[in-house]
Structure 1
C-alpha cells in the first residue's frame, strides 16, 4: 500500500491516482470558471488555503508534470479569445465581474488541481486529499483481495467438480451402455408384440369365419330335420 511520503516522492504513483478527481469535491468544493473546466492560480490557492506564490512555485518546479496533466498558460490573442469566451458565459453575474489577467493566465483543470494536491506539502486541504486517495486505494485493494479470494474458492470448487466428473466418467459410460442394451431389448420386445398383435388379428378373423360356418351348418341341419 502506498504511503503519503511515497505519493509525494513518486510521479509514477501520482499518475496512477490521476483518475480520482472526484476526491477533490469530497474534501472541499472547487469553484470553477464559467466554462466548468478551468480554474486560475488564485482559485487553486483559495481551494488549498495557501498563497498564490506557493502554487506558482510548485507549478514552476514541476512544470513538465503539470503540463502533462492539463496546465496551460495563455498569452496574447489566445488569452484575449479566452477572456471573450468567459465574459460571454459570465452574463448571469455581469461580465464586468469577470477577473482578467493583463499579460498571461495560468489555467488548471481538475486533473491539474489533483496533481497540486499530491505535491503541496504546506496545505491541510492537500493532506486531506492525499488521505482520501490513500484510503480509497486501501479500500480498492481490500475489495480486489476479497474478489481474488472468491475467485480462488470458485476455482478450487470447480477443480473438485472436475475430479468428481472424472471419477463419474466410467460409471456414466457403464450406465450409458446398459441403457443402450435396454433400448435394444425394448426394441426387440416391441417387434415381438407387434408380430403377436398381427397373429391375434388373424386368429380373430379365423374365429369369425368358423363362427359363420357353424351358423350355416346349424341352419341347414334345422332345415333337414323332419317335421313332427
Structure 2
C-alpha cells in the first residue's frame, strides 16, 4: 500500500488517484466560482488554509502536471469572455463584488485541486485529503482481496462439480442408451397395437355380417313354422 510520502513523491501514484475528486468535499466544502467548475488561486488557498503565495509556488513547480489535470491561464480576449460569463452568473452581493483579474487569471478545476492536495506538504487540509485517499485505497485493496478469495472458493467448487460431471458422464451415457432402447420397444408396441386395431376392426365387420345372416335365418324359420301350422 502506498504511503503519504510516496504519494507526495511519485507522479505515477498521483495519477492513479486523480479520479477521486469526491474526497475533496468529504474533507471540506469546496467553494467554486459561479460556473460550478472553476476556482481561482485565492479559492484554492482558502480551501487548503494557506497563503496564495504557497499555492503559486506549487503551481509554478508542478505546472506541467497541473495543466494536464485542468489548470488554465486566461489572458486577453479569453479572460474578457470568461469575466463576462461569470458576471452573467454572479449573484448574491451583486456584480460589483465579483473580483476581476486585470491581465491574467489562473483557473483550477476539482481535478486540479485534488492534484494540489497530493503536492502541498504544509497544509493540514491537504494531509487530510491524502489520508482519506490512502484509507480509501486500503479499503479498496481489502475489497479486492475479499473478492479474489470468493472467486477462488467458487473456482474450487466448480472444479469439484467438473469432477462429479466427469464421473457422471458414463452413467448418463448408459441411461441414454437404455432410453433409446425403450423408445424402439415402444415404437414396436405401437405398431403391434395398430395392427391389432385393424384386425379387430375387420372382426367387428365380420360379426356384423354374421348378425345379419342370423337375423335372416331367424325370419326364415318363423316363416317356415307359420306355413307348417296351416
Common fold by TM > 0.5? yes
Q: Residue 72 of structure 1 corresponds to which residue in structure 2?
A: 72
Residue aligning to 1:56: 56
CA deviations on 1:59-91 (whole Å, 9 max, x unpaired) are 111111111111122223322222222222214
Which residue pairs with 1:115 in the alignment?
115
Matched residue count: 228
Q: How does 1:166-205 map to 2 (within 5 A)?
A: 166-205=166-205
CA distance in 2 between counterparts of 1:203 and 1:148 reads: 77
Correspondence 1:5-154 to 2 at 5 A: 5-154=5-154
Question: Matches of 2:207 and 2:5 in 1, distance apart?
Answer: 110
Shift of residue 92, structure 1, vs aligned partner: 4.6
User: Which digits, 9 at most, give the CA deviation of each residue in 1:150-192, with x for residues without a partner?
Assistant: 2222222222222222221111111111111111111111111
**Misfit runs of 4+, over 6 Å:** none
Q: TM-score, normalised by structure 2?
A: 0.93
Q: Distance in 2 between matches of 1:41 and 1:164?
A: 67
Structure 1 spans left out of the alignment, 5+ residues: none
Question: Deviation at 1:40?
Answer: 1.0
Q: Could you tell me how far 1:102 is from its partner in structure 2?
A: 2.0
Take 2:199 and 2:79, find their aligned partners in 1: how far apart are those partners?
Answer: 109
1:148-167 to 2 correspondences below 5 Å:
148-167=148-167
Comparing 144-153 and 110-119, the one that deviates more: 144-153
Between 14-23 and 195-204, the greater mean CA deviation after superposition:
195-204
Q: CA RMSD in A?
A: 1.5
Cα deviation digits, residues 34-62 of structure 1 (max 9, x gap): 11111111111110111111111111111
Aligned to 1:227: 229
Give secondary structure in 2 for the equivalent of 1:35. Answer: coil
The offset of 1:214, in angstroms, is 2.0
